[in-house]
Structure 1
Amino acid sequence: MVRSSQLVALTSRRDVLRGLGGLAAVGTLAACGVPVESDKPATLGSSAAPSAAQARGEVTLWMRDDDLLKVFRTVVPAFNKEYPNVKVNLKGVDIATKLPPALVSGTGLPDGSFWEDDQLGQHADHLYDLTALMSKYRSDTVQFKLDVLTHDNRLVGVPWDTDPGLLYYNEEVLTAAGVDPASLTGYDELLAAARTIKDKNPQARPIPLEQDNTLGMVWYTMFLNQQQGHGLVDPSGNLTLDGEASRRALTWIKTVVDEGLGARQKFASTAQITMLDEGVISLVPWAQWFIFIPQSGLKKTTGKWRVTNLPAWSAGGARSGLMGGSSFVIPGKAKNPELAWLFYEFAVYRPEGYRTVFSKNAVYPTGLNTVVPSVRSALDPAKPLVDRLPQLGGVDNWAISTRAALDIPPGYTAPTWYGQAAKYLGANLQRLMDGKMSVDDVIARSTADIKKNLIDRN
């Protein structure tokens, strides 16, 4: 999800009309699945997807104004070879600020938009139900992405990137401390390695502890979905903060704090970069998009870092989890939703689309390696879309990250209020990492705050 120029956007990591020529009658609009004065957008059914010969008109799609916008613009010429009568306007905007009020008011809307997955739930009622159009692609999509984008049994987004959790480590530091990277298969072993490294260098704080409320919460929920396949709520919508997986993760984080094994800095801050370059931080369980730091942010230790799969919480358990993600949405009051769908279908599911986005290009000379596609057929370890990196010692980062994406446990349930929970749970996690709260305190206060301010209010 994150490119180096997109970090700020992350931490803050959407008639048949005009496309078929002329204005259609209200009856035709309804028959094609386009909402007509309804409280909730109808399903955008397969009848609303015109053929290449029929598709005609202009479509406006919002992206964040960053490197990814530049890459998706390179998809347009290939799209227009198949859909020559569709003009695609890709606009860079501040989506977090502009899209929510536009969805509510129904004015100034794009035909489609890029959006962070954690923001979709609270606005799902203003988005098209894409279940019917996505039906033919479900088996070719990483399941947890479908889970994340399903609200009230409605699939409200086109899955784009997958952000699996990985383990990054400084091989030179581990070798000097006598730690075998192959031993890092469990979280107890990760703690043991951190202790050994600190014994060798008392100044070391091997594991980073995030200071941002939102990123800290996303990190913690990666541990949850890695253990049990769901996050802050179970499939029935019940809070799981007092469950076994949550307690285990919180206790592990508190152990890192209590034993002085953690470095309290903000992600990618100057202070954290310095700690990484000085060997103070050497064991980083984090999202795939951490890769941009050794790739472009380090000086002294570039080439000394490696990447592997996360440790497991139990023998034979998952060695990957979800940490972030984004998708494409189509507003329920969009003027040309069917054209938006055609572009997203092409860019996400067609080989010429996703290869154009992820493979080497002028924006990403080694390929877009901070995330991987959500399309299973694109995640072939034998057919890499990106290059190996000298900054990671030439390890097969594509094979590692694609395996991790496919290993993320399915069954994820995304509460509509997830994007608002950092104010409560994220803040309490900060207090835990500052040594000001116990595990029981975090669970009790966060549960009470979320129920009072998010669940009961909704």
Structure 2
Amino acid sequence: MKDQAESRDRRSVLKVLGGLGAASLAGCSGIGSSPPTEEPQTDTDGTSGDGSSSGTDSAESTPRPMADAMEYWEMAGAYGGLMDRYSEKTGTEISHTNMGYDEIINKMQTRLISGQGAPSTALIEQKMTLKVASTGGLRDLRPRMEEAGIIDEFNEGVLAAVTGEEGQIYSVPDDIAPTTLYYRRDVWDEHGLAPHEEIETWDQLIEEGKKLPDDISLLSLPASGSNLYWRFLNRMQGGQEFDEDGNIVLNGEEGLKAARIMKRLSDEGLVHRGANWSQQWFSGFKNGTITGYATGSWFYGTITSSMPDTEGKWRGFKVPAIEQGGNRASNRGGSGLVIPEQLSAEEANRAWDFIKYVTANPEQNALTYKNEGQMTAHEPSWKEDAFTTAEFDFFGGQKLADIWIDMIPDIPGYRFTVDSPIVSSIINEEMRNMIDEGDSPKAALDRAAQRVADRTDRDIA
């Protein structure tokens, strides 16, 4: 649900941090290989009480045989209620495993390559989907989505993140993570910073941040998450890692502007570089020595679950634009559900029925938003009362969904590829060198582009 490159299972982290509570965090066109396309075995919107559902192979409606049990892997730790409700409705036995980001990717790739042992379905981050699909072990879900009539119910940019080079859709989007700047309104007010309603650009934010004492950081910009900041800043301008021909463009003007913002934040002494998901990190937010964090909408759950004593002191807003009048919409995270190729027809049908229940069910999506703050990628669900009326006392009565729904149409698509994990690793190292060792943005990105070229055999545009 969250951007799992931050590489922690949040349930485990929060347990280690002294019983703070399980935080609910919500953890793009691409190039992927082409596994064999299945014959459509889709069904309609309904799921019957006995676990069967109806669908059409042709003009005639026929029941779809479905397995009585399924296995589900995820890395979010926030699906208990959904699984319980689905099991109660259908009588399905669900074997559930919650694991860390690296573990789920490594295990999925190993099981897909071996052709055995994969789960019925798994939650995979959008940015890693095409990498996992390159094993040749994921099913193309486009036929099922088209027959179920839900393909147009998801934002094109979200679908593009999980679409292969021949139009295969390897994942049904579950959540989307509009980049949100969460901040301690009480600390900003105490030190005379302008409220977020008056801040439109990064230049304005930086000037306001200078009003804070030296022992208070405006933003957390963790060393291990430098690539995540760079990507959402690059993406909000329409920047990419690779162009349509596969050439490297990460060191283009958009990427440079993103790096310069990060460099300036650091040079002005406004960022906290300590490790995220650490005791120190959480303590900084709780005591107000770190006042803000630009991240995916899923961070709502982290704040409310792990910092209950700060209720009413937080606010959220669209990240500032690079330039006056510029776009303020980006994305940081997001995930979806996949179906392995190796499953029997009955198990695949059960997995698909579960996926529809989780991703394209407005009533269930409203419950998940209300309980977990997770922003569904399923656009019809946004009409539910939970999205249109819910005011969060923790955020001073803000209707957070209003911010996210307004932002989503303006989030530029992003061209994730099988080489995106390589880019993430190299960008993180070079942004760290830029911030912590004094390299210039241009030198850091030019070096990153060359390193990516050396690792991937791609050309630099």
Give the TM-score of the pair, scaled to structure 1. Answer: 0.81
Pair 1:453-2:455 in alignment: yes
Native 8 Å contact 1:160 1:327 kept in 2? yes
1:406 CA drift (Å):
3.8
Identity, % of aligned pairs? 21
Aligned equivalent of 2:348 = 337
Which of 209, 219, 222 is equivalent to 1:207?
Answer: 219
Gaps of 5+ in 1: 14-38, 360-366
Q: Which amino acid aligns with 2:377?
A: S
Question: Structure 2: how far apart are the matches of 1:397 and 1:238?
Answer: 38
Indicate conservation of the 8 Å contact 1:61/1:111, yes or no.
yes
Tell which deviates more after alignment, 52-61 or 183-192: 52-61
* Pair 1:137 & 2:142 matched: no
Flag structure 2 segments of 5+ consecutive residues without an equivalent.
3-8, 15-22, 28-32, 44-52, 56-62
User: Is the Cα contact below 8 Å between 1:112 and 1:340 reproduced in 2?
Assistant: yes
Q: Give 2:420's aligned residue.
A: 418
Which stretch shifts more, 144-153 or 282-291?
A: 282-291
Cα distance between partner residues in 1 of 2:404 and 2:12: 20
1:158 and 2:172 matched: yes
1:374 is aligned to 377
Structure 2 SS opposite 1:234: coil
Number of aligned positions between the proteins: 411
Q: Does 1:72 align with 2:72?
A: no
Which of 315, 324, 328 is the equivalent residue of 2:333? 324
1:184 aligns with 2:199: yes
Q: Distance in 2 between matches of 1:428 and 1:88?
A: 47
What is the deviation of 1:88? 4.4
Structure-2 residue corresponding to 1:33? none
Using the alignment, how far apart are the partners of 2:314 and 2:186 within structure 1?
A: 8
Q: Aligned match of 1:260 in 269, 273, 280? A: 269
* Maintained 8 Å contact 2:76/2:98: no
Deviation at 1:387, TM superposition (A): 4.8
Q: 1:358: Cα distance to partner? A: 3.6
DSSP 3-state at the match of 1:395? coil
For 1:158, give the aligned amino acid.
V
Write the distance in 1 (CA, Å) between the matches of 2:81 and 2:389. Answer: 14
Q: Deviations 1:197-227 (Å, cap 9, x if unpaired)?
A: 23xx232221211121xx3212211111111
**In the aligned structure 2, how far is the partner of 1:255 from the partner of 1:436?**
11
1:170 pairs, out of 184, 205, 229, with: 184
What is residue 132 of structure 2 aligned with on the other side?
A: 123
**SS of corresponding position for 1:323:** coil
For 1:277 and 1:111, the matched residues in 2 are separated by 40
SS at match of 2:340: coil
Please show how residues 12-23 of structure 1 align to structure 2 within 5 Å. 13=27
**Residue type of the partner of 1:404?**
M
In 2, Cα distance between the equivalents of 1:62 and 1:90?
6
8 Å contact 2:70–2:350 — kept in the other structure? Answer: no
Cα distance, 1:450 vs. partner?
1.2
Match status 1:354 vs 2:365? yes
Q: Are the structure 2 counterparts of residues 65 and 426 from structure 1 closer, same or farther at C-alpha, using a change threshold of 3 Å?
A: closer
CA drift of 1:267 comes to: 2.0
Distance 1:77 1:93 in 2: 17
- Cα distance in 1 between the residues matched to 2:311 and 2:24: 24
RMSD: 2.9
Aligned: 1:289 with 2:303: no
Q: Deviations over 1:309-363 (max 9, x none)?
A: 221223433222110111111112222323211221222112244345444xxxx
CA distance in 2, matches of 1:375, 1:334: 26
Deviations 1:60-105 (A, max 9, x none): 232236632412312314651xxx6xx3424215323421100111
Judging changes above 3 Å, is the alpha-carbon distance between structure 1 residues 7 and 251 closer, same or farther for their aligned structure 2 residues? farther
Change (3 A) 1:272 1:46: same
The answer as to 2:36 corresponding to 1:42 is: yes
CA shift in 2, pair 1:380/1:318, >3 Å = farther
Distance in 2 (CA, whole Å) between partners of 1:394 and 1:193 is 24
Deviation of the 1:119 alpha carbon: 2.0
Q: Please tell me whether the aligned partners of residues 277 and 299 of structure 1 are also in contact (alpha carbons under 8 angstroms).
A: no
Pair 1:357–1:426, CA change in 2 (3 A): same
The separation in 1 between residues aligned to 2:81 and 2:308, in whole angstroms, is 27
Return the offset for 1:300: 6.2
Residue aligned with 1:426, SS: helix
Please state whether the residue corresponding to 1:102 is helix, strand or coil: helix
Greater shift, 248-257 or 46-55, is seen at 46-55
Q: Is the 8 A contact 1:185 1:312 kept in 2?
A: yes
Given residue 368 of structure 1, which amino acid in structure 2 is its aligned partner? E
Aligned to 1:397: 400
Contact 2:24 2:77 in 1 (8 A): no
* Alignment of 1:110 onto 2:119: yes
Question: Given that residues 79 and 343 in structure 1 are in contact (C-alpha distance below 8 angstroms), is that contact kept between their aligned partners in structure 2?
Answer: no
Tell me, in whole angstroms, the C-alpha distance in 2 between the residues paired with 1:338 and 1:113: 14
Mean Cα deviation higher: 107-116 or 295-304: 295-304
- The aligned residue for residue 61 of structure 1 is 71
**Alignment of 1:89 onto 2:104:** no
- What is the TM-score normalised by the length of structure 2? 0.81
Q: Deviations over 1:271-296 (max 9, x none)?
A: 22232233332232222122234313
After superposition, the Cα gap between the structure-2 partners of 1:120 and 1:176, relative to the gap in structure 1 and judged at 3 Å, is: same
Partner of 2:258: 249
* Aligned partners of 2:313 and 2:395 also within 8 Å: yes
